[in-house]
Amino acid sequence: MPSGPESGPDRQEDVAKDAILENVMKGRQLTDLMLRCTILDAEGNVKTISGQFKKTDLSVEHGINARDLRKIDSRVPNLVPIILVRKEAVVVNILHIRALVKADAVIIFDTFGSADSRLHSVFLYHLEHNLKTKGTSLPYEFRALESILLSVMSALEAEMVFIRNLVGGLLAELDDTIDHDRFKRLLHYSRRLASFQNRAKLVGEALEEVLTQDEDLAAMYLTDKKKGIRRELQDHDELEVLLESFAKQVEEIVNEVEIMQSNVQSTQEIVELVLDSNRNALLALDLKVSIATLGIGTGALVAGLFGMNLQSHLEDDPFAFYAMTGLSSGIAFLVAWAGFRRLAKIRKVGLSSNYGTRAPKPFLPLPLRGRNFEGWSY
């Protein structure tokens, strides 16, 4: 058996590969073939709450393919909202709603591994109440679809209000003080806002995709199809109005999110400009100190020359000290003044690349100023 420092990591890697291969070869367990769902009957009453059903039984009973159930299986990651129209049902997977709508039943698939949340309870209550309503011209499947889209809109609006309060409060704080913690929170909120904007756009695209397909719109009249009533491809005004109203609401949310995203981006740019300005001010201060040090050092050079133990015949002059002091101070002042003036010229920034080196315009007499190569210009 090989020994050495590399045998340990290699052995661990082989064990990990064997474990992964063993898990793959075991296949899916029986529980993976089950779905937990709540069923509402034709009268709007809850028939089954969180019941366990096999995928094969659901596929055969409701006339859909197994791959359609995969779209609404909460254990399978699916970030793109979908509205699939089938022969006897409509498959809906939008945000937290995973449902199968038929002409006389609605199947709500529960989220795997989570308890009954408040949002799901409110949706189920509204769905049950809407399905029991008899004084409306909407068929059963459209009332169910309306409840689903209302729940989706409520979730989007609630999240939008929450993010708007977070972003608005942070932008107000940044108007007063800019620090590292607030700038870090701004970046985090910007990513969260972009993620929410993407989800809202995907919901709008799912609705627009259905609205552009006349065949799907006509096929969503499940009650008429069950009664044997044939509909023309263009005869779907009732459903089109319903979907367009929700599509407009989603569009309004997307527009508001884009405005917030623009405000956040503008604030980020302004914060970066302020930080750059502060950084430039610190660099300018450092340069000023260096220039002042250079001037003082140049003046001290004169004093250093006279500090050497050499005879200059100025030791006995009563005015030599004052003269050398004035000379050293003058040299230091001139060097510092020249450095500060040069720094001021460098810090002048123009929008054009040839700022400060503008070529003078040639002088022309007044009668010739309006004349070009082809004659007089008017």
Check if the beta carbon of residue 302 is closer than 8 Å to that of residue 335: no
Please give the CATH topology (third level) of the domain spanning 34-274.
Methane Monooxygenase Hydroxylase; Chain G, domain 1 (1.20.58)
Asked if pLDDT for residue 285 goes beyond 70, the answer is yes
User: pLDDT band at residue 343, thresholds of 50, 70 and 90?
Assistant: confident
Q: How far is the C-alpha of 254 from the C-alpha of 303, rounded, in Å?
A: 73
Asked if pLDDT for residue 100 goes beyond 50, the answer is yes
Averaged pLDDT, 89-101: 88
- DSSP letters spanning 189-252: HHHHHHHHHHHHHHHHHHHHHHHT-HHHHHHT-HHHHHHT----TT--HHHHHHHHHHHHHHHH
User: pLDDT band at residue 253, thresholds of 50, 70 and 90?
Assistant: very high
Instruction: Give the per-residue pLDDT at 30.
Output: 44
Asked if pLDDT for residue 55 goes beyond 80, the answer is no
Averaged pLDDT, 321-329: 80
User: pLDDT band at residue 132, thresholds of 50, 70 and 90?
Assistant: confident
Owner of token pair 């065949």: 215
User: pLDDT band at residue 377, thresholds of 50, 70 and 90?
Assistant: very low
Asked if pLDDT for residue 251 goes beyond 90, the answer is yes
pLDDT in tens, 298-321: 878 777 777 766 666 666 777 777
Check if the beta carbon of residue 221 is closer than 8 Å to that of residue 236: yes
Asked if pLDDT for residue 376 goes beyond 60, the answer is no
More confident residue, 48 or 32: 48
Instruction: Give the per-residue pLDDT at 309.
Output: 64
Asked if pLDDT for residue 145 goes beyond 80, the answer is yes
Sequence spans of domains, the chain: 34-274, 278-310+318-341
More confident residue, 211 or 10: 211
More confident residue, 61 or 11: 61
Averaged pLDDT, 230-244: 83
Instruction: Give the per-residue pLDDT at 8.
Output: 57
Check if the beta carbon of residue 82 is closer than 8 Å to that of residue 91: yes
Helix, strand, coil percentages (3-state) for the chain, rounded to 5, are 60, 10, 30
Q: How far is the C-alpha of 299 from the C-alpha of 325, rounded, in Å?
A: 9
Instruction: Give the per-residue pLDDT at 247.
Output: 92
Asked if pLDDT for residue 43 goes beyond 90, the answer is no
Exposure string (b/e) for 256-290, b if CB count within 10 Å is 16 or more? ebeebbeebeebeeeeeeeeeeeeeeeeeeebeee
Averaged pLDDT, 207-236: 84
Asked if pLDDT for residue 254 goes beyond 90, the answer is yes
Instruction: Give the per-residue pLDDT at 365.
Output: 55
Q: Which of 44-53, 116-125, 182-191 has the highest mean pLDDT?
A: 182-191
What's the sign of the alpha-carbon dihedral 259, 261, 264, 268?
negative
- What single-letter amino acid sits at 268? Q
Residue 368, Cβ neighbours under 10 Å: how many? 7
Mean pLDDT taken over the chain: 78
Please state, in angstroms and as integers, the Cα–Cα distance from residue 274 to each residue in 150, 179, 190, 217, 244, following that order: 44, 11, 19, 54, 45
Instruction: Give the per-residue pLDDT at 2.
Output: 46
Asked if pLDDT for residue 77 goes beyond 50, the answer is yes
Instruction: Give the per-residue pLDDT at 257.
Output: 92
Asked if pLDDT for residue 150 goes beyond 60, the answer is yes
Report the share of the chain in percent with pLDDT over 90: 12
DSSP three-state, residue 139: coil
Q: pTM for the complete prediction?
A: 0.68
Instruction: Give the per-residue pLDDT at 1.
Output: 44
User: pLDDT band at residue 137, thresholds of 50, 70 and 90?
Assistant: confident
Q: How far is the C-alpha of 101 from the C-alpha of 9, rounded, in Å?
A: 53
Exposure string (b/e) for 122-137, b if CB count within 10 Å is 16 or more? ebbebbbebbeeeeee
User: pLDDT band at residue 338, thresholds of 50, 70 and 90?
Assistant: confident
Instruction: Give the per-residue pLDDT at 369.
Output: 53
